[in-house]
Amino acid sequence: MPEAATTPAPLSHLLGFNAGYVDTAGFLALNGLFAAHVTGNFVTLGAALIHGSAGAVSKLLALPVFCAAVVLTRLASNALAARQKAPMRRLIAAQVLLLALAAALMLAFGPFADSDALPAFTAGMLMVCAMAVQNAMQRMHLAQLPPSTLMTGNTTQVMIDLADLFKGLQGEGRNAATGRLRKMLPAIASFAVGCALAALAYVALGMWCFVLPPVVAALTLRWTPKAG
């Protein structure tokens, strides 16, 4: 069940930052693989097939792997709840492990000319699974927060609310619109900062840029309720 509406803001910011960071770093290091925005891989798959570039297998399998990870996350969450254990903290721990394993593979074997090579493919799918855990966890336990991995819906809602406010929306509608803006604008900003920092870190640090995501994921435990 969703956590209380008092979930602290830093948790939302860290989730959004990490999603943007992982998506960008993975895209740069693995020939255009999206770890969080997995449906975008259909576009890059088409480009890979037309141009003969590497990574077609990874892009083709990213969505089914993501879907399987979401199903497993849901089953694990239900099983943990049935045993009176806190699902969120254990799901975050699983995400930390997935991102740490991906970072280890990137450091040990990267950089990669072919993202379909086994170490690169495995690292990419681990990152996809980590983002699947985050997506599912947020839907199940943090439904009061704006999505942290897909910004299209957030941006669309922000533009709708801004248009309504510009037209002079009043009363409860205005309060609802401004409340959504207070949530969604920081979420978009956190994701954008993650994207920008990942690009800079990849240029400056190469494969070492993948050390940060598991650390950020571990930091989210600081603001995660111990129960629920």
Q: How far apart are CA 156 and CA 136, in angstroms?
A: 21
How far apart (Å, rounded) are the C-alpha atoms in residues 200 and 216? Answer: 17
CA distance 126 to 145: 25
The pLDDT value recorded for residue 192 is 95
Residue 32: left if φ>0, alpha if ψ -120 to 50, beta else—which one?
Answer: left
pLDDT per residue over 65-112, tens digit each?
A: 999 999 999 999 999 999 988 899 999 999 999 999 999 999 999 899
Contact 45, 59 (CB under 8 A): yes
Decide if 119 contacts 30 (C-beta within 8 A). no
Separation between Cα atoms, residue 2 and residue 21, nearest integer Å: 25
Q: Quote the tokens at residue 211.
A: 């050390």
The tens place of each residue's pLDDT in the chain, 228 residues long, gives: 444 445 567 888 999 999 999 999 999 999 888 888 877 776 767 766 675 666 688 888 888 899 999 999 999 999 999 998 889 999 999 999 999 999 999 999 989 988 889 999 999 999 999 999 999 999 898 888 888 877 888 889 899 999 999 888 888 888 998 988 988 898 899 999 999 999 999 999 999 999 999 999 999 998 887 665
Half-sphere exposure of 122 (CA within 13 A, CB side): 14
- Separation of alpha carbons 218 and 228, rounded Å: 18
pTM of the model: 0.88
Q: Which of 83, 36, 26, 63 is nearest to 198 (CA)?
A: 26
